[in-house]
Amino acid sequence: MMVSFFDQFASPSYLGIPLIAIAIALPWVLYPTPSSRWINNRLITVQGWFINRFTNQLMLPLNVGGHKWALLLASLMIFLITINMLGLLPYTFTPTTQLSLNMGFAVPLWLATVIIGMRNQPTVALGHLLPEGTPILLIPVLIIIETISLFIRPLALGVRLTANLTAGHLLIQLIATAVFVLLPMMPTVAILTATVLFLLTLLEVAVAMIQAYVFVLLLSLYLQENV
């Protein structure tokens, strides 16, 4: 029984073809494309309003040099939200429950922020490893600690997204299994459990959006330190 609970996180394949590639590429087909008309429909208007608000909020603390990342971060945000939301549908696979995929997003983007900082302002970038006013005896220890914390950042990004989505999917499956088991024996308890399952599903919808936002927000904070 416990093995079947974790089978939902195994990357599916059909005829030797990994379906994770389709799961990653499919969300881009679902986005409405803007038309050349002066007046768009409601869906495209809401989509444009959401992207503009998110981009403005994300770029607010950054200087002009960091605004070049607006398109990349906004696209990543919408992509992660779409994948996380589609993964809540029945009989679907959530690619962002795979640590390898999340690390594939986190490591290159984090490394790009570090390289930008080392290239544009190396003194300031290296200055983050040693807080001002540190006692002389603590300088070697603090440099080691800050260096370790710097390299842990991409791991924290990937693990946070993976762990939150994995825990949510496991809870939904466990409670759904309990509902089916209790329904013939204790219908009242099963109905109460189904209510909890419904509330948990709403919570997971919020978690799917919040975790995508947190992922991109932390990347923007890393970028803010280096531009």
Instruction: Render 1-55 in DSSP notation, one character per residue.
Output: -HHHHHGGGSPPEETTEETHHHHHHHHHHHSPPPPSSSS--HHHHHHHHHHHHHH
pLDDT at 205 over 80: yes
Domain that holds residue 123: 1-225
Please tell me the predicted confidence (pLDDT) of residue 214.
Answer: 93
pLDDT at 159 over 90: yes
- Rounded Cα distance between 67 and 85, Å, is 27
Please state the domain count of the chain: 1
- Write the DSSP symbol of residue 198: H
Q: What average pLDDT does this structure show over 29-43? A: 73
Q: What average pLDDT does this structure show over 131-139? A: 79
| 18-35 confidence digits (pLDDT tens) | 777 777 877 777 777 766
The single residue listed with the structure tokens 């607010």 is 60
pLDDT grade, residue 1 (50/70/90)?
very low
Q: What average pLDDT does this structure show over 79-96? A: 86
pTM for this entry: 0.84
Contact 88, 204 (CB under 8 A): yes
